[in-house]
Each structure stands twice: as structure tokens, then as C-alpha cells.
Structure 1
Amino acid sequence: MSFDLSVIPNKNIVLAVTGGIAAYKSAILVRRLKDVGFNVRVVMTQGAQAFITPLTFQALSGNPVHTELLNPEAEAGMGHIELARWADLLLVAPASCDTLAKFAAGLADDLLSTLYLATKSPVWVAPAMNQQMWAAKATQRNLNTLVQDGVHVIMPDAGSQACGDVGLGRMPEPEDLARQVTEYFHKAQRAIAEKFGMLAGKHVVVTAGPTREAMDPVRYISNHSTGKMGFALAAACYAAGAKVTLIAGPVSLDTPNGVRRMNVSSAVQMLDISMQMLDEGCDIFIATAAVADYRVAEVAEHKIKKAGDDLNISLIKNPDIVATIAQQQKRPFMVGFAAETRNVEEYAAGKLVAKKLDMIACNDVSRADIGFASDENAMIVFFAEQYQMQKRDLEKASKQEIAQQLVEAIHDALHYEIEPV
């Protein structure tokens, strides 16, 4: 079982919109929730329809808008029951003072109030009202009742209001609400992954991207690696329940959700951080980084000036990071990568043995469709002889999909019963 935390797949949000000028923000909120990957259905009270039309929400959500308690077109005419079963979260934004009072009193005289009583999903309310109405004792009493009933109250913002008053009562911005909802589902999925995920309880260290070996203060030796495969693997390992440390060379990629990132430049720096990770109890070491094989013997203190047609620079061999880690007494499960341009399988199988790895994934970077800068990849996975596992061909797919398949391969190898010698 694995979980992709970069998006929220197949989660259903019922967004209830009640009467108030903040209803215009709810239209933007639908778009933001859809952008993340939520399925959204909208419920509108009569008051909400005085401020914004159902057609707007239908166009933004891609679903019919629900306004009536008894709808002949709904399942058995019981729209609130259908929605109550469908929802993974009921979000009321804006939540009017009247709606809060109905919820607190247990009234059920319209679609939204009956939906509130009928759903088993979590309920969130984002109150929006005049600052004096918000401060009223009755409103605060209703809010306390809702909190005791398990409703999550999103506190309003302070600022100028449509009526001209200044104070608490503004509905938070749609981007903030979408972020809070997304984080809620991320945490829920993470809790499941930490308990049941393929790599639950493991500390995974992933190296990714190129290294840069300085020639002088302005020049360096590097390669075309973008780090996309390593970052996708870091995200997949985290989604599978692992604690993940990502040692990244110089790349322009956002850090995957939940992953600790440590930036380095040179191969020597990457090795130093990798060795430190062993002291933190690294269980799995995945070396996707395209580490430069050589570095400049003596880095010039100042910029090298152009002089003549030839420039001779002495290079020395860089440390082999994955082989060095594999030789340690308390070695983790070692996963190597082989990016080749010819004889791919032959070279990969040789590296697997020579570097004493448990598993190696190889690909042909000479192919334009799966090269360094591509968003897709295709790989062949080999396992060390003691695992007695057949090689796996990972057909061309997105790097995220390839990463999830590699996590499955690591899981299978970790749970393989090795016969004692």
C-alpha cells in the first residue's frame, strides 16, 4: 500500500455556501480545491443565491449545484442523504450566523442543516459576518456548542468589512482555506502510511541531481541531471511511510512534501552528508545522484583568464559515494542507479556486483524521450544474487509512476527471505 502525498486523489468535498458577501470568495475556493485534485460539489442556501448564482459554481466545480432539500432528480429524492454519503469533508464557507445557530440547535429545515445532521464526515465551518455579530454572546455560545460536537471552526480574519466596520469576521482567503484542507488530508494519509505503508518506520536517504566541481570562482564541471527522478523517489518513499532525507545537488525543484532536504554542491560534500546519515540510523540508501567522476585537482583562487588556444586542467578521481556507503560495517539496504548510453544492462549488472549493492536500476539516457530532462522514464531493475529475484522491466511511464514501482521493488527485496549460507 502506497500513498502519493503530492496530490489528494479521490477525496470528495461538499462545499456549502451560505448567505453573505464573502460568497464571492467561495467561487475562488472551488477553483483552488479543484487545482489540488479534490472532487467538489456545492450546496447553496437561499441566502447564498442572493449574492452569487448557482450557475457560477456549476461551471467551476463541473457538477450540478444542490439547492433543494427534496430533489426529484436525486437518489430517491433524498439529496441530503446522497451528499452525506458522498462527502469526505463538509466545508461550510462562508458560514453565516444563522447557519451556526441552526447547527448548534439541531434544526433541519433546509438542505444544508439536514446534510449537517446526516453526514458522518468531518465538518468544518468558516464563519463570516459583521464583527459585532461575531462578538455576540449568542454566536459565541453556538460556536462553543459546535466545538463540543466535534466541528472544526476556522477562525475569521480581522480587517475592514463590507458594512464599513473593522474587526474580526472576515472569511479567510480561498488560498488559505484550500491549504488548510489539503494539509488535513495530507496528515490523515500520512498517519495511515506511517502505520501501513510499504516503508513504514524506515529512514530512507536519497541522493539526487548533479554535483558541481569548481574550476575557479565562476566555472565548474557538471552534467545534465535535473534531479527529477530522485525527487520523485523521495516523494514516493515518504508516501510509503518512510522518514526521508533528500541530499540534493544544485537543482531547481521544490522539496517534496514532508521530506527533509539537505543541499550540497560537490561530490565530497555529498559524501560527507551521506556518511552523517549513517549515524542517524539510515535503513535504505538510494543513490540517484549523477555524481561527477572527477574533480579539478587545484581550484584556481581567481577566475582563469583566457590565454592561448589550449587549457590544461588536471583532474583527480572523486570518491565513489554509493560504493563507500556499501562498504560500511553497518550498511543500509543499498540501491544504485546506472544512467548509461550503451550496453546498459551489462554495465548495470557489473556495477551491482562491483559496488556490492542490493539492487540497481538502470536506464538509457541516450534516448531523447527518457533522458535527463524528461518527465518520463523507463528502467530495468536488477537484484543482488542472494535475493534470487528476477529482474524487473519498468515500462515507460511518468517518473512519479516509476518511483512508486521502485518503492514496491525495494519493499519486495526487504521482505525476501534470504537463505542462510
Structure 2
Amino acid sequence: MLDIKAVRQDPEEIATALAARGFTFDVELFRSLDARRKKADMESQSLAAERKRSSKQIGTLVGQGMNVDDAKAQVNETLEKIASQLDEQTARAKVVQAELDELLLATPNLPAKEVPLGSSEEDNHEVLRWSVPPVFEFEPKDHVALGESLSLLDSETAGKITGSRFTVLYGPLARLHRALIQFMLDVQTRQHGYEEVYVPYIVNRESLQGTGQLPKFEEDLFKLRTDQELYLIPTAEVPVTNIARDRIFEDTELGEFGVRYTCHTPCFRSEAGSYGKDTRGMIRQHQFEKVELVQMVRPNQSERALEELTGHAEIILQMLELPYRKVILCAGDLGFSAKKTYDLEVWLPAQSAYREISSCSLYGDYQARRMRARWRNPATGKPELLHTLNGSGLAVGRTLVALLENGQRQDGSITIPEVLQPYMGGLSEIRN
């Protein structure tokens, strides 16, 4: 959530910054709500002061000749009227504050100054390319054809069990999927100092609001039919980042580089609005797996932390020898809560295109303000908002797709990267 003090100071500047990402911020509505809230607060304070003064009038009235019982009755009558007015004013203030909160909760983060202008992914800027896409002496197959020819990938059975956008994996392909998860977690915990965590796959409304999925993106979520407002997680970002909700970290808890968590979870998304897109195979599914990277850092560390976190995701692609490119998203393509994002896009031979496999984002204090996630600054002794970051390290299903397509041979067999072979019991290839 944006800092309301900054919005008050120059709402037009905020509106201009948000317009770069295609969002219209209603300045007049904000000013109207904020003025009503301020007026309600002032009237409540005035009534509270009047109540305090009135409660001291008994002695004055008695001194003027009124008997004690009559003085108490008169003062109590006045206090009851003030209390009723104060209750009404407090109720009005709550309504206005709720409207103001609703406006700010529905307002996205401000893009960082270095984020390029643009309205869609076509305007994203390429930062680098790593490795060269493979050249085949045959027409490369997509991952579905490869998996089906090996009798290891089955969308038809998944459709019978559940419906569209699900997949069943068998044997060595299921094992390769599991191997990727273990490999990714090992690299992040052993090489990059992340602490592995295990978290719930079901979260409440407050958690989704804290990271910015609610209220705006409710249609993208799977909501459980219970007497509580519970949802399946769309990403591990939600439960892992909410570890910091309503918490104050001591500076010593942050260590040199802040808090670093990594977590493997399934993710569940309704894919609302994506009908007709990537319906074949494992590119865009309702259920998929990710290894997530989450950091909570001091504000002066966050820019460097984004570069490092993105590098932690890149190293997985490099170790797997998968060609990829890194792009910085333009303002119009940023996620709702992000102020700056790098996308990593892996090469898929069957599509002759780079496709997103990881988004690494800096949120500044936007999520922390919604979650009340803070650290105690030793220089002042006061709590201050943390900065949060996260990224996929990586999306497991899309990594599997990339391995199948880039590692395919003409006979339909698949080469297993050397770094994964110990996780596969020494298996170096998958074949019939």
C-alpha cells in the first residue's frame, strides 16, 4: 500500500507516476475522502474535549447554588448527549476510513524511476542473453509430443480425473520433476544462504491482502467453500512473505543480508482471462509447482538485493545449461505490487521463442505497509518498514518443459543435465 503521507503531499505527482503503468488514480476522490476523514477526526476530538470539560462541571454548578443531585443529573444528561454524538461521529469516521483504505488497497505500487516506459510486454527491455539456443538437424517436437511418445506425460487421464489444464506424469518424468525441486532447494540453501521453510498451502484473506493479491485479483484465486474466507495459494510468496506480518525484526535477526527464505509449494491459479492461451501441455496450468525465493531486507539494501536474488534464479538456468534471456519489465507490464521486475525467459525450441520462467520483483515498503512488517533501526531504536522481494527459483513445470525440448534427440530420447543425474540415481537419459 502506498504511503498516505506521500499521497497527501502531492496526489497529482502520484497520479502521474501511476499513469505510466496504465492506472488512473482518482485525485479528487482521494482528496474528498481524506478531507471527510480529517473533519470526522477533528469533530471527534472536539466532542471528546467537550466531554472532558463537562464532566468537571458538577463542582461549578454546586458552587453556583445548585444542589448536588440536580447538578449530577444535568451533567449526566449533557454527557449522554455528547456520548451519543461521539458514537455517531466515530461510526462516520470508520465508514470514511474504510472507503479510503479500499481506495488505497486497490491502488498499485509506484514504478521505480529506472523502469522503462511502455504499456505491454512488447515494450520490455532486454538486459542480456545467456548461451545460444540449440540447433537441431530435425524438426524439434514440443514437450507434449515428447512426453506422450515416451508414455510419461498424460493430459487425457488428468482431464478425466479433474478437467483441463492438469497433467499426470509417470516414472522417470515424475522423478525428473521431483529431482528439479530438490536440486533447486539445495542450490539456494547451500550456496546462497536461504533458509528453507515449509508453509500452509491454504491462506486467509489477510495474507492475500498483505501481499497484494486481494482485493483486486480475487477471480484469479481458488476460494474454498468453508465458513471461513480461505484460499489455495497462487504462489508461495503469499504464505512465506506473511511470516513477517505484524512482526518487528530486531536488527540482529536480519543479519548481513536480511532474511532469506526459500520454499517449495504447489500453486493454484484459476487462469481467469487466459482462455485459449497455452492450453496444450504444462505451460499454463491450474496446478503447478515452484521453488520460491523471498527476501526481507533493510531499505538501503533492497536495490542490491534484487540484483542478487535475480542472479540466484539465473544460476539454476545456467547450471541446467538452458539458454535464457533477462528483461526488465516496462511500467505497463509490472505486477500490481511490484515497483521493479526482471523476467527470466527460457528458450523453448518448439515455439522458437523465449518464455517466462521466473519473475523477480522488488516491492519496496508496499507489501510491508499492508502487512505491518517492520524492523527496529538500531540508529533510532524505532520500528521502520522492511522492504520485500521475491522471485521464482524456478517454476518447476516450465523448467521441465525446457529440459525436454532443449535436451531432445532425434530418436525421441531426452538428455538429463549432469547436475541432475545424482538426483536421478545416475540416470543420464530418458528413453523408451
Normalising by structure 1, we get a TM-score of 0.24
Higher relative contact order (CA 8 A, sep 6+): 2
Name whichever structure is richer in helix by fraction: 2
